[in-house]
Amino acid sequence: YELGGFTCSFNSGRCCRYCLIYHKDMKHVYRESDILIRTTASHDFHVKHIKNVPNEKSILRNRPSTFKETDIHDKRVPGKVMEKYCLFLNLSFILIDIVDRIPCWFLYELLRQIWDILYSDYPRKSWLVTLEALIQEFLQLSQTIFPEQFIPKCHFLLHAARNTAKYDPSKRQMNLRYESKHHLFKKIANRCNNYINLPCTISKHVQLR
């Protein structure tokens, strides 16, 4: 992140990789045209002011893929990236018997419409206007209904329409394969219990597979 000119945390400062918005202002902006987009010039400016500050990284435990009572109280979805991805896609089938009794189910349906456009194989340019309108509506409703649940990833949706037009569909930019490989590396590191020259240890184990 420091090499890219970004902050090392999503909890403060200008934590968006696409624009220069502050973390405290994210929940109040619903249109990309209202914010300043990062440019090559601004990137070079920030790179020149980077300071190499030692940053201690905490080791996070792997969370179980099953729901516990504490997860529900904490409003947390356990599991790996792919497990959460499949849960999102199949949520309507899992909860089909109680969908009518869920007050904010329309938010999920709105997010699914956004997903259908973002991850379609061949999105049309005419869909981008609809996508931008859906994102604006979703962010406004989310902030109104769940003002305390806003996270930076919600703000990242603001840039989805422009990124789709510029870099093709999000489906072609997915990093789930890299997440899967990273999971393998974590398993090897934990089993070896040896963190001296870890890249060498992991590379040898991968070559022996």
pLDDT tens-place string over residues 4-39: 444 455 666 777 888 888 888 888 888 888 888 888
Residue 37's beta-bridge partner residues? Answer: 19
Residue-range definition of the domain harbouring residue 121: 76-173
Domains in the chain, number: 2
Confidence of residue 51 (pLDDT cuts 50, 70, 90): very low
Rounded to the nearest integer, the mean pLDDT of the chain is 78
Kindly state whether residues 150 and 169 are assigned to the same domain.
yes
- Maximal C-alpha separation, the chain: 56
Going by C-alpha positions, the residue among 164, 165, 206, 162 that lies closest to residue 182 is 206
Statement: residue 188 has pLDDT above 70: yes
100 occurs within a structural domain: yes
Confidence of residue 46 (pLDDT cuts 50, 70, 90): low
Kindly state whether residues 133 and 152 are assigned to the same domain.
yes
Number of Cβ within 10 Å of residue 137's Cβ equals: 15
Going by C-alpha positions, the residue among 9, 14, 120, 118 that lies closest to residue 55 is 9
3-class secondary-structure state, position 51: coil
Q: Are 158 and 114 in contact (CB under 8 A)?
A: no
Statement: residue 100 has pLDDT above 70: yes
182 occurs within a structural domain: yes
Statement: residue 194 has pLDDT above 70: yes
Kindly state whether residues 119 and 162 are assigned to the same domain.
yes
Kindly state whether residues 99 and 167 are assigned to the same domain.
yes
Which of the two residues, 200 and 85, has the higher pLDDT score? 200
Kindly state whether residues 166 and 180 are assigned to the same domain.
no
Distance CA 117, CA 128 (A): 8
pLDDT in tens, 160-173: 888 888 887 777 77
204 occurs within a structural domain: yes
Kindly state whether residues 169 and 180 are assigned to the same domain.
no
Statement: residue 68 has pLDDT above 80: no
Going by C-alpha positions, the residue among 93, 70, 85, 113 that lies closest to residue 180 is 85
Q: Residue 18 has what pLDDT?
A: 86
Kindly state whether residues 137 and 193 are assigned to the same domain.
no
16 occurs within a structural domain: no
Question: Could you tell me which residues come within 8 angstroms of residue 140 by beta carbon, excluding any fewer than 6 positions away?
Answer: 30
Kindly state whether residues 116 and 180 are assigned to the same domain.
no
Q: Are 81 and 179 in contact (CB under 8 A)?
A: yes
3-class secondary-structure state, position 54: coil
Kindly state whether residues 188 and 123 are assigned to the same domain.
no
Number of Cβ within 10 Å of residue 173's Cβ equals: 11
187 occurs within a structural domain: yes
Cα 205 versus chain centre, distance: 30
59 occurs within a structural domain: no
Distance CA 103, CA 99 (A): 9
29 occurs within a structural domain: no
